[in-house]
Structure 1
Amino acid sequence: MSDATEITPVRSGLPLVLGATAVAGVLGFVIQFGMGRILGKTPEYTEFMAFWSAFFLVVGAIAGVQQEYSRAVAEAQRSPLLASSGVSARGFALSAALVIALILGVSGLAWGPGVFSTDWPIAVLLIAIGGGAYVLFSAINGNLYGRERWSLVTVGIIADPLLRLILLAVAVVAVASMENALRAAIIVPVVLTVLLLAALGRDTEFGTTRLGSSARQITWNILRTVGGAASTAALISGYPLFLAVFGGSGAAAATVIFVFTIVRAPIVIPMLALQNFMIVHFGKAPERVAASAARLMAAVIAGALVLSGLAAWIAPWFIDWVTNGQYNPNPWLVAAMVATAGLTGALCVSGAATVALNRHSGFVAGWAVAAVVSILLLLLPGPIEQRALIALAAGPALGLVVHFLALRRS
């Protein structure tokens, strides 16, 4: 297929990316729900979730590689001078993958025994392999975003969770000793997706693409986007851990964690998934980035406020029905959680805008401030519901201020 048929205006890729993100979200829900039902409240389920959480914490941080590749490749596509200069996209990705795999493997000698109770050397080895493979996946996918190859982008978004669902099902049904088989079923899909994208995207010129900057500059940019991505993971996927630590093990904390996980996802997850898309979009008109980002952030926050009222009406009943009465949250808690999700969604927009303008320090500073403040404010006195809502409003709001200051300097 020729570039003329694949490289389309950036907005034409939005339905594909959103649709693929929705499918991937459903597949992820099926995996989590299915493994919980199959393994039950057993040590095997605890070990499975420990491995799952450890690997996807690594994945959350490595996602910063994809953001920088999206920006660098898109910028190089607009400038013939940049397209012919700088470090090789493939060569840098291979080197970075090897470095990350070695770091995870060696450091795993320290953290592996504490995280995994059984067969920890195998678990660490698999995470090291998966981490290196995810660097390659992020680089290839960033190249696809930068070149606006939306059909292949959707393949990458869907193939990984779909293959993971299939392999986990095979491990559960066909393997007698499941623990390491389940671990492998989490990691192998990343490797297979890399091979699939490499085969399908042979005409995307990943092997000859240059990133328009030196290896040193790209490394520095990636370190900052990885820092921002790690802060993002702490504020979103990792935040229930902090709620559990600072909220105790009582029913109130359990309800807050459940509501946080369920009702914020429809706003936050799509905005996270669209960050690379927005980086490409904003980079096409740098002089209008601040205004475009402000309009989009206002729309996200306004949409969250509208949805908060709807959620207060519907979500408590739905949660009570789905959980068979185990959780019965107050409507105001649900509404406020959805409203604060709008601020986090807006932070995804402002973060993408800063990366598009090469303001990587502002990007990581905004997310770091949001994450640190949101965690520290959980130390306030009072009920966990109030502390969580104050933290989830104040942290992202301050992060937005930092991002806006970075955008104004541009």
Structure 2
Amino acid sequence: MERKPAGPKPEEATIGASSAVGVGSASLVSAVVGYVVLLLAARVLDQESNAVFLTFWSFLFLLFGILGGIQTETTRASNQSRLTPPNPRNPQMGFIALSIGAGTAALLALSSPWWGALIFGGYSGLVTVVCIAAAVYSGHAALMGSLAGQQRWGTYSKLILSESVLRLAGVGLVVLIGSSVAGLAWGAAAGAAAWLFFVLFSKSARQSFVRRADIGVGAFYKTLGYACLAGAANAALVVGYPILLRVSTPDQEYLSSAALLMALSLTRAPLLIPLNAYQGVAISHFVSRRTRGIKAILPILGVVLGVSVLGAVLAWLVGPFLMTLLLGPSYGMSGAVLAALTFDAGLLGLLTITGALAIASGKHRAFSAGWVAATAISLGLLWLPLDIQTKTVLSLAAGPLAGVLLHSFFIARSIGHNKEAAVLRVSEDN
């Protein structure tokens, strides 16, 4: 009896259902902790002190966003080295990451005479907090990336959860023993040290931290540089967008836009927080499917677009009511603006996904170019002579869309070149 040829081998799932739930639950806890910390600070500090703490909070997470490029690249490198054993001479990713963190801390400290007082006023001690946080967080980013690349989702989720719990515990302790801006700042930054406990007490975490990259030292520093550049653009567009609004809007108009700023946070969080948590999953998934190009992400893009459209419809229908119910009558906002901001958040989500495919495909320049272009276009549109709501909606649509198109162009061109090269090789062999 003739045997039928075996069909294609089914692809290994990147993440199981229970692990996906674990990552999602940890990211939800992380988001809730952030809101709780801000609420506690508002309750225990006077308005002037709380303004300083909020400035510190924004600066801290802008810095974490930049260093988040380490996690993006170590996810790719760790996954690739899982598929193809790396050269034993290649660098251990955790120590390379710590060197970047130390360099960032030194740069911040040396340059602080020019920016410290401008940002933190008389609270000069906050400069020390951000410098130490930068050095420590680089290790967290490296361990997170390595765990994601190896698909160790259980430990990955525990690390997300531990960082949040440690941050909440630090802030809670400060509130109990006597609140101050400096104390709350140290408590908020404490979460960045959670990874140290994993490395100290978990053999598998230590192995992940010292895992070797798939490329040499110089090349790895270069790809990390591209990833951190994209991280800076990402952080400016996502975390630092209110700062972009601030510098491009007249004082009186900006100071009266509290409702818009709150609407930005509320419409982004439901989609972007879980999407950022799953970015490591996406990169790990795409590394083994990068030859498919854009086809590899079409199902995910469809889901993100569908959720965005549904969210926009809900924001239009019930958003204005929820804004005034939760925040008070002074936070009124039209349904059309809330719907547009929700859909814009979806476009940022699409940019995150196309960026994940670009980095998984080894297209580091394309990855950073897409994010930088998105941020530059968004910032440029904020200088148009339009009211703050209109230019915000426009800039948050046009910038991410341009970044998505740029990522897609480079990925498609790369796939085309690879196919041409394959055809040439076949012709030469024949």
TM-score (norm 1): 0.92
User: Which amino acid letter does the alignment assign opposite residue 68 of structure 2?
Assistant: A
Q: Secondary structure at the match of 1:379?
A: coil
Residue 195 of structure 2 corresponds to which residue in structure 1? Answer: 194
Among residues 117, 122, 133, which one is paired with 1:118 in the alignment? 122
Residue 290 of structure 1 corresponds to which residue in structure 2? Answer: 294
Residue 19 of structure 1 corresponds to which residue in structure 2? Answer: 25
- How far 1:19 moved relative to its partner? 1.4
Q: Secondary structure at the match of 1:211?
A: coil
Q: Does 1:163 align with 2:166?
A: yes
- How far 1:15 moved relative to its partner? 1.9
Residue 3 of structure 1 corresponds to which residue in structure 2? Answer: none
| 1:145-178 residue CA offsets vs partner (Å, 9 max, x unmatched) | 11111111112111122211121121122136x2
Residue 132 of structure 1 corresponds to which residue in structure 2? Answer: 135
- How far 1:136 moved relative to its partner? 0.7
What count of residue pairs does the alignment treat as equivalent?
398
Change (3 A) 1:262 1:353: same
Residue 324 of structure 1 corresponds to which residue in structure 2? Answer: 328
Among residues 281, 284, 303, which one is paired with 1:280 in the alignment? 284
User: Would you identify which runs of 4 or more consecutive aligned residues in structure 1 move more than 4 Å?
Assistant: none
Q: Does 1:109 align with 2:113?
A: yes
TM-score (norm 2): 0.88
Change (3 A) 1:397 1:190: same
C-alpha distance in 1 between matches for 2:219 and 2:56: 33
- How far 1:253 moved relative to its partner? 2.8
C-alpha distance in 2 between matches for 1:396 and 1:157: 27
Q: Does 1:39 align with 2:39?
A: no
Gaps of 5+ in 1: 1-7
Change (3 A) 1:264 1:189: closer
C-alpha distance in 1 between matches for 2:137 and 2:209: 17
**Alignment of structure 1 residues 353-372 onto 2, 5 Å:** 353-372=357-376
Q: Which stretch shifts more, 261-270 or 354-363?
A: 261-270
Change (3 A) 1:74 1:186: same
Give the superposed CA RMSD. Answer: 1.8
| 1:63-120 residue CA offsets vs partner (Å, 9 max, x unmatched) | 000111110011000002x264511223323322322221222122321122122241
- How far 1:200 moved relative to its partner? 4.4
C-alpha distance in 1 between matches for 2:158 and 2:353: 24
Q: Which stretch shifts more, 201-210 or 355-364?
A: 201-210
Among residues 60, 65, 80, which one is paired with 1:60 in the alignment? 65
Q: Is the 8 A contact 2:290 2:296 kept in 1?
A: no
Q: Does 1:409 align with 2:413?
A: yes
User: Which amino acid letter does the alignment assign opposite residue 218 of structure 1?
Assistant: F
User: Which amino acid letter does the alignment assign opposite residue 151 of structure 1?
Assistant: G
Structure number, greater radius of gyration = 2
Gaps of 5+ in 2: 1-11, 415-430
Residue 86 of structure 1 corresponds to which residue in structure 2? Answer: 90
Q: Is the 8 A contact 1:344 1:396 kept in 2?
A: yes
Residue 242 of structure 2 corresponds to which residue in structure 1? Answer: 240
Q: Is the 8 A contact 2:199 2:209 kept in 1?
A: no
- How far 1:187 moved relative to its partner? 2.1
Q: Is the 8 A contact 1:228 1:367 kept in 2?
A: yes
C-alpha distance in 2 between matches for 1:350 and 1:399: 9
Change (3 A) 1:311 1:266: same
